[in-house]
Amino acid sequence: MKLAAKAGVALLALGCHDHEHDGHGHGQDHGHEHAESKQEEHEHGGDESIGCTAWTDEFELFVEIDRPQEGKNVGYHAHITRLVDFKPAMKGVLTVEWRSGGSVVTEARADAVARAGIFTPESKSPPPGAYEVVVRYELGQQKARFDCGKVEVGGEAEAHEESPSLGFTKEQQWVIPFATSLSVKRKMAREVELPAIVEPAGSDRLTISAPTSGRFFHSPKLSLAEGLHIDRGQQVGSIAPTVAGDDFSELTGAVDEARVAKNQALAELQRIKPLVADGLLPNKRLTTARNDVERANARLKATRGRLARVVAPGGKGGLSVKSSLAGVVTEILVANGEPVAPGAPLVRIGGERSRWLRARFVVRPDHELSPAVPVAIRTAEGERVDVRGRAKLLSLHPIVDPKTQLATWIAQVKLGDGQEEPSHDLRSGARVVLLLSVGKVEERVAVPRGAVVDINTRPYVFVQLEGESFEKRRVVVGVSDNDYVEIVSGVKTDERVVSQGGYDIHLASVMGTVESHQH
């Protein structure tokens, strides 16, 4: 397993120090056991241990190694942290190798954790000489190799000054939301926030109008209301049109009259037929009766045809009113059953292909907003929604009202191919914050947003020196871009910073619950 790019290795000589944690609660067992191991060192005559912190892409190692003494066993206190969630490894095999000339001289192995995240193997002390210390960790198919540098066995131990670092044990890190990350160089530009309201895009709106005069009846199959999703081609209602000045009641009356006239003509025809057959009436009367029946039939058919184009309230037929756009009802302009004129707007639909973000703000100098590119939206719940590549500003500069000095700038955001449900983050009418990337894009040293901790209104970053040792640094922040913040000074590239949990380290230090120490 290769080391994570530029992750680095910390190899330290750790002075004897008992880890007492008065009242913090995260690492009391850890401190007690460390104290016991240090007591053993005193009994063995040693007063220092060797510490190593190293990373791969998947794991972090922090190991404390008793300084080897000829004829005595070497104890190891190894911590393995999963970088996917910064929690302790619960199983696996850990091996410590003392290598010389490419061969393993002494090896210590632990086939299981002594407790969560911690392996405590032992081995014989290697003979005096210079060695490369390699730690291996295996968990199924996952294999990690940690190179802990060279260690000289025998001779005088080098003196090391303790640095004013902040101690925060692995047991404390493992029980809180905690994470680290490398500071990196990123291409970044300044971000500007503008308050905005979401609305349907102008090119993605539809106003459904009345095809003729009459009365507009909502579809009985829908509960037509604002916010209702409408499919393309779905009927939203019907028009009971005014035909030649007649309304529905007049047309139904005409149909009834035509039906009565037809029945009378048929009855007259049936009465005349036997009289003509008996010679009591001339054939001309039979022909006239038949013509009357045909005229009554034609009239009934005509009145029924006119009525068929008209719908009764809640009835069938009439002129269907359908939507040619899939989307959401944004406005209902005519109540159920109200009369309308030809072309009158009935319902407005907002499509699902795109949204407008209408930002309104106090006018700013042009150089502060140029060039600008929409990069993200922050919702009312605080969630950041990335819109890079699917959002654009509709004008090069905001439109300014000369009277109020308020500027309006509209960004259009694509939602998809129109076949998917619109994101609730961008529902019409929602209030959001539009984030614009402004100005020149430059390469800058950056850390995750969570790495910058405000303490007494000043920004700090906690840098991890080794597994349980941290340095609190005052920083100067610059521009922010997406989830990263520029560090103008205080942190260099490729330093490992605490991206989550920095404030916990600060609290532990000021409350005196964790000593500032080196192991």
Angle, in degrees to the nearest 10, between helices 248-277 and 283-308: 160
Look at the block and give the residue holding tokens 């300044």.
190
In the prediction, which pLDDT does 157 show? Answer: 60
Which amino acid would we find at residue 452?
V
Q: Where in the chain is the domain with CATH 2.40.50.100?
A: 208-236+320-352
Assigned architecture for domain 244-308? Orthogonal Bundle (1.10)
431-467: string of b/e by CB count within 10 Å (b at 16+)? ebbbbbbbbeeeebbbbbebbbbeeeeebbbbbbbbb
Q: Is the pTM of this model over 0.75?
A: no
In the prediction, which pLDDT does 317 show? Answer: 55
Give me the sign of the Cα torsion angle 385, 386, 392, 395: positive
Would you write out the chain's pLDDT as a tens digit for each of its 519 residues?
Answer: 333 333 344 444 343 333 333 333 344 444 444 434 433 433 333 447 889 999 999 999 999 999 898 888 999 999 999 999 999 999 999 999 999 988 999 999 999 999 999 999 999 999 999 999 999 999 999 999 999 999 988 866 665 566 678 999 999 999 999 999 999 999 888 888 999 999 888 888 899 999 888 888 898 888 888 888 889 999 998 887 765 555 666 777 888 888 998 899 899 889 888 888 888 888 888 888 889 889 989 988 888 877 665 545 444 556 889 998 888 888 899 999 888 988 899 999 988 788 899 999 999 888 888 889 998 898 888 888 888 888 999 999 999 999 999 999 999 998 865 444 445 567 778 899 999 988 888 899 999 999 999 999 999 999 999 999 999 999 999 988 778 999 999 999 999 999 999 999 999 998 864 443 333
- For 266-306, strand residue ranges (E) read none
Q: What whole-number distance in Å separates Cα of residue 390 and Cα of residue 395?
A: 16
Report how many helices (DSSP H) and strands (DSSP E) the chain contains, helices first: 5, 35
Q: What whole-number distance in Å separates Cα of residue 463 and Cα of residue 465?
A: 6
Q: What percent of the residues of the chain are helix, what percent strand, and what percent coil, each to the nearest 5? A: 20, 45, 35
Q: Where in the chain is the domain with CATH 1.10.287?
A: 244-308
Q: What whole-number distance in Å separates Cα of residue 482 and Cα of residue 450?
A: 12
Q: Where in the chain is the domain with CATH 2.60.40.1930?
A: 9-165
In the prediction, which pLDDT does 156 show? Answer: 66
- How far is residue 57 from each of residues 86, 271, 375, 469, measured CA to CA in Å? 12, 105, 29, 21
Class (C level, CATH) for 208-236+320-352: mainly beta
Contacting residues for 46 by C-beta, under 8 A, at least 6 apart = 66, 67, 69
Q: Where in the chain is the domain with CATH 2.40.420.20?
A: 184-197+354-500
Contacting residues for 36 by C-beta, under 8 A, at least 6 apart = none
In the prediction, which pLDDT does 13 show? Answer: 39
Q: Give 184-197+354-500's CATH code, choosing from 1.10.760.10, 3.50.50.60, 2.40.420.20, 3.40.190.10.
A: 2.40.420.20
Q: What whole-number distance in Å separates Cα of residue 421 and Cα of residue 349?
A: 15
Q: Which CATH superfamily is domain 9-165 in?
A: Macroglobulin (MG2) domain (2.60.40.1930)
